[in-house]
Structure 1
Amino acid sequence: MNGRALALVALALALAGCARVPARSAGTDAPTATAMDGSRDIVLAVDNPLEPPAIHAGSNLLGYTITGHYGAGRRASATLAALREQYGWHEVAGWPIRTLQLYCVVLRPPRGTTREAMLAALARDGRVQLAEPLHEFATYGEDDARPRHYNDPYAELQRGFVETDAALAHNTSQGGGTAVAVVDTGADPAHPDLRGRIRSTRDLVDGDANTFAGDRHGTEVAGIIAATGNNHLGIVGMAPDTVLDVYKACWYAAAGAPGARCNSFTLAKALAAIVETDARVVNLSLGGPADPLLARLLGQLLQQGRVVVTALPPGGRMGGFPDGVPGVLVVRVTSGAPAPPGVLSAPGHDILSTEPGGGYDFSSGSSMAAAHVSGIVALLLAIDPGLDAEAIHGLLLASSRPAAEGLQVDAARAVAGLRRLARTEVAGDRR
């Protein structure tokens, strides 16, 4: 445990007082995730090392650089061609993961071969780095100054915003200079309360960004985190000056469906893309079974200093993805029942947020609770970008306070605790 984490423990006591490139181009978002079969398809990965450029006769290394394009290299292409010839699978999609130097494919076993038999054979094949079922995932719907004043008409109806004293925290920080990656369904970039807050969007499901305008879950999560304040409209985000990168990795199986679906393919592409960005916070209001490939990617993001916030599964059982990955911040809906060890509690019942088409409505679930925590994390990082996930987790636990239904994170107390810690460190340096 580092010095800052030890200081936060003290503060807690005080406050308690992938290879043929498919015809559609594997390096793009073209393959349609909705056409994949989570009951049959397999994710397979092989080595795909970065390759230096060819050296031409009469030339030297000066002036030559490795190409910026990273697709299926010669080794990966040869390996996958041989594997495909041997096992006779059908390739659904393929994509490179530069940061892991892997090339992945989603494959479908040939007729007459079960997925279990194919996985067993691939597990024994030394050319294969990883082979796993194509997993499916789901979103989880269901005190030193006066608070900052907002002219947004629905601000007082925001249970989470009010109960966590976010307006008071905003006297110190509104999240400016931080970026939050939201991996979810799309989020409506034309919503009046989200204009200017979403700096980038990527569709990893079917490549049709037009579908963002109708994506409910991601729009709700985005509004809780970053809805614009003092614009005489709607609501205020927990971190209204932060910016969002929205990665559509989940989709609705049918119009009006209560929940959205994701899979290993779309989530891996989203996480690999985030590795190349400056987003410090990653919001994953979703979950499903343990997934080795996704765990490796998430582990890399954590090693880079990202703070990953996820939602506790509705049944409360942990150990899947992403809640089972060490180092992530797991958030449940505030409840009178004791929280599992280390799990944070935040408002998640009847939460007012943005809806597609410029509207607002109430929603519930640990997805909403996780979004509140992502916003608070952005507030803290705007004050001290050097904070790591361990320090933030300790601070949020230490600054949680009793609410009507039990202990709950508190934005104002977390910000005040961080400022107090900073003053203590400065005083120590002076001595």
Structure 2
Amino acid sequence: MGRIKTFAIAAAILFVFAGTAYWMQPYFNRGQENAETGRFDTANPRILGVKDKTDMIYINSLEDGIALKNELRGNPEVTIVKHNVQDESHYHEHEAAVKFKRNPGQQELEEMLRRIDGMAIKRFNHTIVFRSRSKSTSDLLQYFNHLPQVKFAEPNYIYMQNEANVPNDSLYRRQYQWNLPVIQTEEGWDITRGSKNVIIAVVDTGVDLDHPDLERRITRGYNVLAKNSNPDDDNGHGSHVAGIIASETNNLRGIAGLTWYNKIMPVKVMNEKGYGNAFDVARGVIWATDHGADVINLSLGNYQPSAVMQEAIQYAYDRDVVITTAAGNDNTDQPSFPAAYPEVICVAAVDHNGNRAEFSNYGEYVDVAAPGVEIPSTYFHKQYAALSGTSMAAPHVAALAGLIRSANPDLKNTKVMNIISRGTYDLGAKGYDPYFGMGLIDIRHSLEQVEKPRRHNRQSFWDELRESFNIK
């Protein structure tokens, strides 16, 4: 749903949404007309010192992003293109992702490999990632883009994570989860608490498959990086995103997810350091689409548009998937991708006072805003952690999309996206603005707009009861 229709950006890549926050522009507060409603009069988040029953780690995800950027800067196999001081893009040197009009024959492929002095390292449908022993990425692009059988060739871009009914869950009851009341989650649960038939894919670093707050919420997933391995999380980012959406609720432990019954489909596309490439992310999006995902969350990105990635986004959108993305953590109006593609919902971050998070990107491609500062959630190694970033804001919207589709599975993705935008609580300048989009998401208000389905296929009371007590 991003409003940018044309993009002219230098050849480069990368999104560090868990990355460095810069304060180059003044941030905008919530509108005065909304200041007296009491919505943000919840207790400030109390993140540190959680000792009884549950230990939670506070992680400065923005500093982690700086460290990762510095590591990439020092890697001779990674090329950096600077759009401005903070918006760096990266790609793998000596590699190119090539989309063919038709798959090349064996003889044809061998001739290509001979000419580039290289090998084919990844293949999916008509797209092949090539690596050369001696030629630069620009040399590879020049060679492949002149071949008549090639649709396009581009750098192998690097994508990075974008961190930065009253349930009885221990952290929720003690008001650590400030993020749920401000978007009227409890009131929304009176309408629906979700359905196990509506699947939300987390295309990320994987998910902690053994986490006690996640293990019953997980359905079949996929590890793009190692197809014979489980999509287990070796970084923590994906587990945190998944917990915001669907951590088991009302189980006397940990945190409450926004949905009680929706299933999480873990798709691992990023490594233990928290980054991956456009080819693998695109494969993950397509796999999730082909295996029944109703919603896909992408808390990752890059400042360079990728044709490989755009085709995957279009593929999912054309097949009725709702796609939520993080705006980015560089406090810039530089369009980020896939957030700026019109087929997705781009999400900015707000803090517990209703102000734009100081790191949150802004611009005409921002659609809505959601909580994204000190968000408690599940973490890998069966832990809990508080993270900040638009990575944390986006899954709030993915969960809302899942709840809407649970209330009425007949709704098309375009209708779901419209309901989310129309159901917001206005922040900043009246109406749409580039800092909050249409405003802060509102679970209750959005669900109140959902028409009843033609057929009754929502989860029944007895199904919900069996889920709650783990009755087979």
Shared fold, TM over 0.5: yes
Deviation at 1:141, TM superposition (A): 0.7
Q: Verify the 8 A CA contact 2:118 2:130 in the aligned structure 1.
A: yes
Over 3 Å counting, the alpha-carbon distance change for 1:301 and 1:76 in structure 2 is: farther
Quick one: which amino acid aligns to residue 412 of structure 1?
R
Contact 1:312 1:318 in 2 (8 A): no
Contact kept in structure 2, 1:47 and 1:76, CA below 8 Å: no
Q: 1:120 to 1:339 in 2, by over 3 A?
A: closer
TM-score, normalization by structure 2: 0.68
Q: Supply the AA of the counterpart residue of 2:312.
A: L
SS of the aligned residue for 2:232 comes to: helix
The one-character-per-residue Cα deviations of 1:186-233 (angstroms, maximum 9, x if unpaired) are 110110110111112322224574782533100000000011111111
Tell me the CA shift for residue 47 of structure 1: 4.0
Seen in structure 2, the aligned counterparts of structure 1 residues 209 and 158 have a Cα distance that, compared at 3 Å, is: farther
For 2:149 and 2:334, locate their aligned partners in 1 and report how far apart those are by CA, in whole Å: 33
Tell whether 2:391 aligns with 1:367. Answer: yes
CA contact (8 A) 1:247 1:270 kept: yes
Unaligned runs of 5+ in 2: 1-74, 79-91, 429-434, 455-472
Measured after TM superposition, the shift of residue 178 of structure 1 is 0.5
**Greater RCO structure (CA 8 Å; 6+ sep):** 2
Say which of 213, 218, 222 aligns to 1:193.
Answer: 213
Counterpart CA distance in 2 for 1:36 and 1:245 is 32
CA–CA distance in 1 between the matches of 2:247 and 2:272? 23
For 1:240, what is the secondary structure of its paired residue? coil
Cα distance, 1:78 vs structure 2: 3.9
Deviations 1:322-359 (A, max 9, x none): 11222200001026459644521000011010011222
CA contact (8 A) 1:344 1:397 kept: yes
The equivalent residue for 1:54 is none
Q: CA deviation at 1:295?
A: 0.4
Other-structure match for 1:80:
109
Q: Please show how residues 10-25 of structure 1 align to structure 2 within 5 Å.
A: none
* Structure 1: 5+ residue stretches without partners: 1-33, 49-72, 143-147, 254-259, 423-431
1:130: Cα distance to partner?
Answer: 2.3
Kept in 1: contact 2:377–2:386 (CA 8 A):
yes
1:417 aligned residue:
449
What's the counterpart of residue 225 of structure 1? 245
The alignment-based identity, stated in percent, is 22
Aligned length: 346
| Contact in 2 for aligned 1:348/1:368 (Cα 8 Å) | yes
Contact 2:207 2:231 in 1 (8 A): no
Q: Who is 1:40 aligned against?
A: 94
Matched, 1:171 2:190: yes
Q: Which of 138, 150, 153 is the matching residue for 2:160?
A: 138
Which residue of structure 2 aligns with residue 286 of structure 1? 300
| Distance in 2 (alpha carbons) for counterparts of 1:165 and 1:133 | 43
Contact preservation (8 Å) 1:46, 1:80: no
- 2:221/2:231 contact within 8 Å kept: no
Which of the residues 264, 275, 278 maps onto 2:278? Answer: 264
**Deviation larger for 227-236 or 394-403:** 394-403
Q: CA RMSD in A?
A: 2.7
Report the equivalent of 1:16: none
Q: Which has the higher helix share?
A: 1
- Normalised by the length of structure 1, the TM-score is 0.74
- The aligned amino acid for 2:184 is D
Instruction: Give the Cα separation in 2 of the matches to 1:114 and 1:36.
Output: 10
Q: Distance in 2 between matches of 1:332 and 1:296?
A: 24
Structure 1 residue 242 corresponds to structure 2 residue 262: yes
**Partner amino acid, structure 1, of 2:93:** S
My pick for the range that moved more, 151-160 or 218-227, is 151-160
Question: Residue type of the partner of 2:337?
Answer: F
Rg bigger for which structure?
Answer: 1
1:410 alignment partner AA: D
